[in-house]
């Protein structure tokens, strides 16, 4: 029975798992560095509208490293942005995570698909079409499914 539920969870592999995982406490690190990493490529963008009228934009960190080998892990990048939403809970009006369909994931791309929406009253809406696939060692958003089953939210 346990094996069937594991297989079912792997088959679904949708945003519900990411929402549940983002609720868990992240690992703590004792890393100290003055380096501020600003990604050049990002599949996701988090926009937070604070109650005082300010707005902040954060981009996902899609690259993960195993030893010295880099691979793309968009699933973990999305979870990090969701955790950032939880960190600001109670201080914002809205926090929304958008995705770009640009295969190069450039930061100046059009982020026009809403993936996750955290509201001021702790309500959360998640895009049910957002699923992830693993190709080689890369875990990426299933772009075709998101594009087909999600409405565009805005165009730059």
Domain map (residue ranges) of the chain: 2-23+40-149
By C-alpha distance, which of 81, 96, 91, 93 is closest to 127?
96
User: What is the reported pLDDT for 27?
Assistant: 66
For residue 33 the two structure tokens come to 């560095």
Low-confidence ranges of the chain (pLDDT < 70): 1-15, 26-27, 29-37, 152-156
For residue 107 the two structure tokens come to 């930061």
**Which pTM was predicted?**
0.73
């Amino acid at each position: 029975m346990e094996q069937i539920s594991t297989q079912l969870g792997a088959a679904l592999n949708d945003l519900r798992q990411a929402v549940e995982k983002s609720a868990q406490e992240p690992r703590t690190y004792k890393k100290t560095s003055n380096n501020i990493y600003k990604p050049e490529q990002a599949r996701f963008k988090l926009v937070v509208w604070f109650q005082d009228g300010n707005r902040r934009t954060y981009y996902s960190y899609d690259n993960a490293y195993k030893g010295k080998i880099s691979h793309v892990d968009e699933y973990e990048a999305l979870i990090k942005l969701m955790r950032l939403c939880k960190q600001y809970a109670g201080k914002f009006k809205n926090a929304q995570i958008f995705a770009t369909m640009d295969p190069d994931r450039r930061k100046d791309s059009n982020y026009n698909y809403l993936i996750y929406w955290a509201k001021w009253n702790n309500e959360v809406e998640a895009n049910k079409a957002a699923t992830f696939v693993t190709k080689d060692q890369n875990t990426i958003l299933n772009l075709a499914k998101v594009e087909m089953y999600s409405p565009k939210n805005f165009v730059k």
